Amino acid sequence: MGDRQLLTGWGRTSVTSANVESVGVDNLAAVESGNRGAIARGLGRAYGDPAQNAGGTVIRLRPSANPVWIDTASATATVDAGVSFDDLLRRIVPHGFFVPVTPGTRFITVGGAIASDVHGKGHHRDLTFGHHVRSLDIVLADGSERTVGPDIESHLFWATVGGMGLTGVITRATFNLLRIETNRCLVETQRLPDLDALIAAMSDGDADHRYSVAWVDLAKKGSTVGRSVLERGDHATLEDLAEHAPKALRDPLGFMPGSLLSVPPVPNVMNRLAVRTFNELWFRKSPKQHIGTPTLTGFFHPLDGIGDWNRFYGANGFLQYQFVVPFQAVDTLRDIVDRVVANGNASVISVLKRFGAKSGGFLSFPKPGWTLTFDLAAGVPGLGLFLAELDQLIVDAGGRHYLAKDSHTTPDIIRAGYPRLDAWKTIRRNVDPDGRWVSDQARRLDLL
């Protein structure tokens, strides 16, 4: 019997209570899910409610005796689903490997990365994490375990990749690794005066780099709307370190990321004045043009240095809003940026990226186009109506929203953005006819 716990997503909104069971893979079939079903949960970094199950069961997988196995010859790893990227990177970086795709935090699990089909700064070249998975093991609703992959029961595989844990519990996966020479990246930083300049720069130069990401100021009004700091980079070679950071050659593959003290519970410090002030300082301190060699964590996971940074938004929490619109809908992107700036609720965390080809996952989020991410303080009057307006603009332009970030959209908006939803539901119902695997998000968005 597990413990009754109150759970939220990383945004700290929509608290619900569930019975949390910590089990090993061999005991998954014996978990009592009752009439409210069960859902697996990793480290709770999804922003909304996909890893919550009000009145039901939430499963945390215990690691096996050998949770990580690395094949250096084939550059692959076979890893328990409950292993975090943080633990994995500590194992693989000293051997000259990096994960093929990482989101903005290393505090996620391998299972969560597959269920959300995470993307990163390199999607225009490397696509999603699921694109690099060779096979995965999944426990189905009837307790049976299957191994699936791109060429093994491919429909179930691609329904599971990006399927938010609703086809079964992922227990283990084998995926490709990326060979690296050092623990650093060679990054070119460029300051840009407005959104149009940023769009032009990314359109012209992203293809020349493995990674690209832009911080966008969504608090500044007037002629400099969308002023930005663009970072584009590649993994640094030993030759790069010899030229730009010779001291780093003393331990070129060391991986010992630090972490600052956790943020204590505080009132909302992301008020409009604070956001405008921070954004002004951040933009001014960024060089107009610079080449640097940040560490892997410094480039890919900068917020991981601040424990519990989500507390900055106070007791009401926050929503992280992420969408993608096709490249030809760039005017919709501009319209949304103008509306967000005028609304005045966006935080300091606002990011623009370019997506490459779409994933094979039925519910995978990325598709070719522009993706913008920004945080909004929850509990602000009129927020729901404002987001509903943005939602409609996005789907009317042929875009969609990211399920791993979502905490507010409606079934109609998700259906409009995911044309393969009905096909996904058919596969899900074939392997889970009684709805054993279920989450708060699944009920809210009619994903069952």
Q: Of the candidates 202, 131, 228, 186, which has an alpha carbon nearest to the alpha carbon of residue 353?
A: 202
288: confidence class by pLDDT, cuts 50, 70, 90: confident
Q: 323-343: buried (b, 16+ CB within 10 Å) or exposed (e) per residue?
A: bbbbeebbebbbebbeebbeb
Amino acid at 24: G
Quote the pLDDT of residue 124. Answer: 97
275: confidence class by pLDDT, cuts 50, 70, 90: confident
Quote the pLDDT of residue 309. Answer: 84
Amino acid at 430: N
Q: Which of 6-15, 21-30, 71-80, 185-194 has the lowest mean pLDDT?
A: 21-30
Q: What is the DSSP string of 176-238?
A: E-EE-SSSBEEEEEEEESSHHHHHHHHHHHGGGSSEEEEEE-SS--GGGTT-EEEEEEEEPPH
3-class DSSP state of 140: coil
Q: What is the mean pLDDT of the chain?
A: 94
Q: What is the chain's percent helix, strand, coil content, to nearest 5? A: 35, 25, 40
CA atoms within 13 A on the CB side of 352: 31
Amino acid at 89: L
373: confidence class by pLDDT, cuts 50, 70, 90: very high
- Helices 330-343 and 383-396, interaxial angle, to 10°? 170
For residue 268, pLDDT beyond 80: no
Which helix (H) or strand (E) segment holds residue 79: the answer is strand 76-80
Q: Of the candidates 328, 413, 337, 338, which has an alpha carbon nearest to the alpha carbon of residue 372?
A: 337
For residue 244, pLDDT beyond 70: yes
Residue 363 and residue 424 in contact, taking contact as beta carbons nearer than 8 Å: yes
How far apart, in whole angstroms, are the C-alpha atoms of residue 158 and residue 24?
A: 25
From start to end of 343-409, where are the E strands? 346-355, 369-377, 400-401
258: confidence class by pLDDT, cuts 50, 70, 90: confident
pTM: 0.96
Amino acid at 69: W
* Length of the chain (residues): 448
Q: Which segments of the chain belong to CATH 3.30.465.10?
A: 69-180
Q: Which segments of the chain belong to CATH 3.40.462?
A: 185-415
Average pLDDT over residues 352-377: 96
185-415 CATH fold: Vanillyl-alcohol Oxidase; Chain A, domain 3 (3.40.462)
Instruction: Say which CATH class 69-180 falls into.
Output: alpha beta
Q: Of the candidates 90, 127, 104, 82, which has an alpha carbon nearest to the alpha carbon of residue 10?
A: 104
Quote the pLDDT of residue 266. Answer: 61
pLDDT tens readout for residues 202-238: 999 999 999 999 999 998 888 899 999 999 999 999 9
Residue 114 and residue 42 in contact, taking contact as beta carbons nearer than 8 Å: no
259: confidence class by pLDDT, cuts 50, 70, 90: low
Quote the pLDDT of residue 264. Answer: 63
**Which alpha helices (DSSP H) does 252-318 contain, by range?**
272-285, 296-300
